[in-house]
Amino acid sequence: MARTRDPAVRTLLLERAAHMLRTREPLTLRSLVAGTGVSTMAVYTYFDGMDGVWKALRQEGFTRLAARLTTVAASADPVRDLAALGAAYLRNALDDPDLYRVMFDATFELQDPRAADETLYALVQAVERAKDAGRFRDDVDPLELATQSWIVGHGLASLTATGPLPPETLAHGIPLLTALFTSAGDAPDRCRRSVEHGWQRLLQPSSTPSEQLRSRRDPHR
Amino acid sequence: MARTRDPAVRTLLLERAAHMLRTREPLTLRSLVAGTGVSTMAVYTYFDGMDGVWKALRQEGFTRLAARLTTVAASADPVRDLAALGAAYLRNALDDPDLYRVMFDATFELQDPRAADETLYALVQAVERAKDAGRFRDDVDPLELATQSWIVGHGLASLTATGPLPPETLAHGIPLLTALFTSAGDAPDRCRRSVEHGWQRLLQPSSTPSEQLRSRRDPHR
DNA sequence: CACAATACATAGCATTGCTATGTATTGTGG
DNA sequence: CCACAATACATAGCAATGCTATGTATTGTG
């Protein structure tokens, strides 16, 4: 019983905001709508102001990360998969460092916290598969080990993608994860091979993940 | 041959800025000088604008961190000292999370990068002492292991002090550092005891470190 | 001691996000 | 089918932001 709002406008603005963040253009209310034909008020209709845009960007970051992690297929070597998940996590942060940063900006609360949990869940599952395969001890708590892997991955991502350490530092991921998984019961030599294998993924830069994501969300286009 | 500027004004403004950051007051040009008697132009005289204030804050963060780390005295157990340094690092981040955040905001470049190196150097020294004590293997590169410890510490600090994980998550520091130091050659049981011992420091909140620092920098007062 | 260089106060400018107001559009009940 | 009302959205203007231009006061130095 009223004029309806066009969801395409929302995705257009959000996509544009993400692009501006990626290209390091200053993201202001007026620069966001400039050239799009929509007026500044549209931002208030769809996002309730610039804070809402940042919140939506934060959510978008977790959505893209979750989508990226699902591209890591489960193989016969679950420890390799764990390292591959870590590598995918880092690849995501490196490809869009500013988006990664807002993901961890607690200034704007997350509308849907499940998105954040989902990323951790992928790790938990891999740890469980490693336990099933006998690679980790039975007393290993999957959630705890997954969290610890996340802490290592985030430390690496934060210090290299958006921090002071050079990209070569990423190589530290191999000894760090090897040490962690070895402490969980895996045999040192085998563990190192698995981690190195899974870590390979870091070297190959991904092919425009945002394009893939868009076509997934909007099949018609 | 001209009017000289008063260094006390600079430290006053910087201290005030750090305090406002700590108490989460919005840090704006006008709010910074409000009530101090100095005009907005003073900020330009001493900091060349608000960007300079943020740069100075970043530097101040590293200065305070370095001072905090030096309070960790070298003991007979260098692995314990390594864990104690990590705990001091986390204590610093927890006591002033917003200052910790700007420390890693690459938007504002650091005037004196040595301040950042200094924090890492404390870790490197502890690793070298651990090697000398025969706790770590001879082929361990002190800088590498120190960097890896930093990555773990920063991951923990970032996810708990300014991130989504609850404070209990800090307990993960013990298994993480134990795994790392064990992989460097330390005996697992002994390593764990040392790390747990050094980690104790985290529980005792520190007594107003900014006061200590001020009196150190300005002995007269 | 005069002068010039510097600190710093005042005023005003462009830009920011936001709100108040007016207009256009469109789904819906009769 | 159509009047109405609810909603989208365009326009204009406001307070607050950081910054600059300009004027004045102060003080070290030749």
Q: What is the spatial distance between Cα A22 and Cα A25, in angstroms, rounded to a whole number?
A: 8
Residue B36 predicted with pLDDT over 50: yes
User: Phi-psi region for residue B113, left (φ > 0), alpha (ψ -120 to 50) or beta?
Assistant: alpha
pLDDT of A99: 97
Question: Three-state SS for B25?
Answer: coil
CA-based nearest distance A1→chain B, Å: 41
The residue among A140 and B216 whose pLDDT is bigger is: A140
| Chain A residues inside the 8 Å CB shell of B179 | 179-180, 182-183
Q: What is the spatial distance between Cα B12 and Cα B73, in angstroms, rounded to a whole number?
A: 31
Strand D nucleotides within 7 Å of a protein CB: 4-12, 16-22, 25-30
Fold of B58-206: Tetracycline Repressor; domain 2 (1.10.357)
pLDDT of B55: 95
Q: Give the pLDDT band (50/70/90) at residue B212.
A: very low
User: Quick one: tokens of A74?
Assistant: 């489960």
Measured CA to C1', what is the nucleotide nearest A1?
Answer: C27
Place of tokens 């005289």: B45
| Cβ contact B221 with chain C strand, < 7 A | no
Q: Give the phi and the psi of residue A29 in degrees, each rounded to 5.
A: -55, -50
- pLDDT tens digit sequence for B38-53: 989 999 999 999 999 9
Question: Three-state SS for A208?
Answer: coil
Q: What is the spatial distance between Cα A77 and Cα A195, in angstroms, rounded to a whole number?
A: 10
CATH class of segment(s) A1-48: mainly alpha
Positions of CATH 1.10.10 in chain A: 1-48
- pLDDT tens digit sequence for B95-152: 999 999 999 987 777 777 777 888 899 999 999 999 999 999 999 999 999 999 999 9
Q: Give the pLDDT band (50/70/90) at residue B206.
A: low
Strand C nucleotides within 7 Å of a protein CB: 3-11, 15-21, 24-29
Question: Three-state SS for B4?
Answer: coil
User: Phi-psi region for residue A72, left (φ > 0), alpha (ψ -120 to 50) or beta?
Assistant: beta
Positions of CATH 1.10.357.10 in chain B: 58-206
Q: What is the spatial distance between Cα A170 and Cα A199, in angstroms, rounded to a whole number?
A: 10
Residue B216 predicted with pLDDT over 50: no
- pLDDT tens digit sequence for A68-126: 999 998 999 999 999 999 999 999 999 999 999 999 987 777 777 777 888 899 999 99
